[in-house]
Chain A
Amino acid sequence: MHDVSAHAVHHGAPTSFIRKHVFSLDHKVIGKQYYALALVAVFVGMFLSWLMRIHLGWGSFAIPGLHLLSKTGAPGDVMTPEYYLQLMTMHGTIMVFFVLTTAPFAAFGNFFLPIQVGAEDMPFPHFNMMSFWVTFVAFLVLVASFFVPEGPTLGGWTQYAPLSAVGSVGGPGQGLGVVLWAASIGIFCIGQLLGSLNFITTTLDMRTRGMSLMRLPLSAWAWFITSVMGLTAFAVLMPACILLILDHVAGTSFFVSSNEVINGQILPHSGGSTLLWQHLFWFFGHPEVYIAIVPGMGIVSHVLITNMRRPMLSHKVLIYSMGALAVLSYMVYGHHMFVSGMNPVSSLAFSFPTLVITIPSAIIVLIWLGSLYGSKLRINAASLFALGFVSMFISGGISGFFLAQPSIDIMLHATYFVVGHFHLVMGVAAMFGIFAGTYFWFPKMTGRMMSEPLGKLHFWLTFVGAYCIFMPFHYLGIASNVRRYQAFTDDYLIPLIPVHKFITVAALCTGAAQLIFLYNLIHSRFKGAPATDNPWEGTSLEWSTATPPPHNNFGDTMPVVYHDPYQYGIEGASTDFVMQTSPEQIKNPNEEK
């Protein structure tokens, strides 16, 4: 038996409040800070969606107090068409960047990756601290655009040029609003690059004794793969944002072509390429979809295995499939541009890998379903949300088959079909991954259990509600309901308004159900039942340390790893699971050769 004696801590435990809770170098505190930021962001984003949905259902309805948010955007508490687009843009941006990227990757990854690999901390804790605070500043800069004279940008989270690059002539918020948007996202990129640097190096260099790559839990693998994607994708978005800002503040012509006339004004730009922005943006944008969803895949796999009490059908194939998703995600980005006027041959070239990427996705889903088949799944809030993730991912993924083909996409492009597709497969599925992770890891993060009955109630309301919101979107899209319209006045759209009203009611109810989660989270944090070190009888390293973990994660002795991560249902063992740190010899371990 190899004895690992006391290790020198990377950085001493802080004593002052500021160093302990604000400018902390501890990855666990930084993870919680990211989670708190995502929590604020998700409620802001959800509130914006409520306002939008009310407007879509009942356009003339005066929302009490809305004028307080913007006098010009909501005179008489009824939002203007431009203000609807501004809220829509902010909803998308906040949700994609500050929730779907921040929570499953930065929050949970920061807290648990170093623990799951058996490290005391990330290798570059100062970069890690900077990564959070830079992200926080990015959020403030974005929110600040609500309070500038013309309000936030209305160009959508994709900020297509030339509208995003021409200044105020493009509409309210297209001047300073876009500059703040681009600055915010550029700053956000820096934060994510610093985070990815730490994640990659932690996984490669900081693993404890015996922790080979294949002994990493699936969640750790997912964070690692995501960080590689983040490193390459955000490094491309940042220069794109710089060029966009320069078109605004320096009068350059990167994205605005010659003789562009907008709102009766000839613009002074010349020769810019509007498609250039789309290429740069979607080279980031499609991997971003996987940056949002792959951590969820890892978290959900980890949660399911723990509750199934048996490993996935194939640990390695699941890892390779997530890796294949990451690689292919860079080759498919052009499918967002089928109707941009690009060469049909290019469309074909992008369509093919888009269909191919469904193969690793299908393999992952089949592994989940095959592993679940016949298992005696422990039903709790975490495992329910994990099942919900699988359900949402399948439902949202199937519509991707249709959109992957240019001939069909031309008809469905920019309709609610697309909105339903990406909300289910990327938005709701990723949110379910976040919820699964929260219910599963909350005991380890806080030392207290969350309420299971409230968690289950939260699941069923959210699960049913999400389907009530997003499945009708597909119907609307097939009926040619164009997205980004703030009112439906055309003859063919008027009959669809009742569907929108139904969706609005569903959105309000589902949103209200999230207050149950918020109550459960806050109440359990202070009044929840005390958690044991290993409440779910897990095997990975986070369950072999104290709850909550000490400053250096493992106390005086660093863990030594003896087994693959998921040794459940072991014959002859004293319990139905053997922890990674257990020196117990296993006769027939769950290992793949």
Chain B
Amino acid sequence: MATTVHEPPKIELDRLPSQRSGNGGWRNLVPVDGDLRRIKDRSPVPASTGIWVGLASITMTFAAFTSALIVRQGGAPDWQHISLPPVLYFNTLLILASSFTLELGRREVAKFMGGLRGQVASPARGLYVTLLLGLLFVAGQTFAWLQLRSQGFGLATNVSYSFFYVLTIAHAVHLLGGLGGMVRVIGKLNKSVLRRSTLDATSRYWHFMGALWLYLFLLLWMKL
């Protein structure tokens, strides 16, 4: 899985004061005497804040699903305990491994940017592996859904299955967003226009998807 890199990617280490707006900064200290030369720009790049805000929103969504599960289970005479498809254990390993390879990939990119171009033949390799593991995870989830379906356990068979499908599909949909982000990062890296903030935001999102899956897996394992 080779990639051709013609120029070193341009990763922004710091935003220049004259570039775009945003130099007010959310931790910016404004001197009382109005001497603006003493202001230091320490504002984070919007992508960094934006990804945290987005993750907060996704957290709320899954918190709502979780509370629905707990409330629905609490008063339900029809609640059935189900066996999770074994492939989920394998999928869990895949998504954990993908976070690991992503970090390795980030190091390769950082090394590449740090002037060690000769030592890094393909800076996107780790990202490609992460992408592949992510796709395998989605394939594994799809296998689990098809397996349950072939056994006669559909979305409406029992509310336990309903929650299983809803939670895992909702997670997979969000993960597809992460895969899209990864493709975008690789594309930008190959075109040498990648910003560090984009890579960092995508990485945070990806790791969050891993953590979210671990949480959901434990929830499903304990509650279903």
Contact = CB atoms under 8 A, between A and B. Distances in A.
A251 B156 contact: yes
B30 A271 contact: no
B200 to A, nearest CB: 14
B72 interface: yes
Contact of B19 (A7, A210, A273): A7
A206 interface: yes
14 contacts: A117-B24, A196-B53, A205-B46, A211-B24, A213-B26, A231-B57, A236-B61, A240-B64, A246-B162, A250-B156, A253-B156, A270-B159, A279-B67, A562-B36
Given A207-B26, A215-B30, A280 B64 contact: yes
Given A231-B57, A235-B58, A246-B162, A209 B24 contact: yes
Nearest to A270: B78
B217 interface: no
Contact of A271 (B56, B78, B156): B78
Contacts of B166: 242-243, 246
Those 9 A-B pairs whose CB atoms lie nearest each other, nearest first:
A207-B24, A123-B46, A271-B78, A235-B60, A251-B156, A211-B24, A2-B36, A119-B21, A236-B64
Contacts of B39: 2, 209-210
A208 interface: yes
Interface in A191-240: 193, 196-197, 200-202, 204-213, 215, 231-232, 235-236, 238-240
Contacts, number: 167
A210 B30 contact: yes
Contact of B44 (A6, A205, A243): A205
Contacts of B79: 271
Contacts of B162: 246, 250, 252-254
A8 interface: yes
- Chain A, interface size: which category? 35 or more
A118 interface: yes
A7 B60 CA distance: 37
A276 B68 contact: yes
Given A238-B61, A252-B162, A273-B71, A205 B45 contact: yes
B65 interface: yes
Contacts of B61: 235-236, 238-239
Interface residues of B, number: 49
B142 interface: no
B43 A205 contact: yes
Given A118-B21, A205-B43, A250-B162, 17 more contacts: A7-B18, A7-B20, A119-B22, A196-B53, A201-B49, A201-B53, A207-B22, A209-B24, A235-B64, A236-B63, A239-B68, A243-B68, A250-B155, A252-B162, A254-B72, A254-B159, A254-B162
A118 B20 contact: no
Contacts of B64: 235-236, 239-240, 280, 283
A4 B18 contact: yes
Contacts of B24: 117-118, 206-212, 561
A235 B63 CA distance: 9
A258 interface: yes
Q: Which of A197, A561, A585 has the most CB of B within 10 A?
A: A197
A284 to B, nearest CB: 9
B219 to A, nearest CB: 14
